[in-house]
Amino acid sequence: QVQLQESGPGLVKPSQTLSLTCTVSGGSISSGSYYWSWIRQPAGKGLEWIGRIYTSGSTNYNPSLKSRVTISVDTSKNQFSLKLSSVTAADTAVYYCARIVVVTATQYYFDYWGQGTLVTVSS
């Protein structure tokens, strides 16, 4: 059974960079044809996709966040990470990491999710 666990600071100051790591257990991050993704959810609001990465390092980002987002992967540690720069209060949210199952080149879905971690942007 694959498990994902988010970790990182729960409080980030405005204008700084938010950094989170997702540790994958129960299987190798490099096995199969899976992609890995970050999704966030502000309190009381809906889900927003941030971006995805393949173990080759290939990435695809939400256009609305692309200028501030970097997703990377460390296969030796079975982890992938999120960096979001120049954060504001609007970036306060629960951040989830998730595994992607690819259906076609443009179609995929999320089958395993982490429990989520709350990141608050405040001075």
- Summarize as ranges the residues that interact with another protein (CB under 8 A): 37, 46-49, 52, 60, 62-64, 96, 101, 103, 105-111, 113-116
CA distance 30 to 56: 9
Residues forming a β-bridge with 78: none
State the greatest distance between any 2 C-alpha atoms of the chain, in Å, as a whole number.
43
CB nearer to another protein: give 12 or 95: 95
**Least distance from another protein to the Cβ atom of residue 115, Å:** 6
DSSP single-letter state for residue 55: T
**Least distance from another protein to the Cβ atom of residue 106, Å:** 4
CA distance 123 to 107: 39
CB nearer to another protein: give 34 or 110: 110
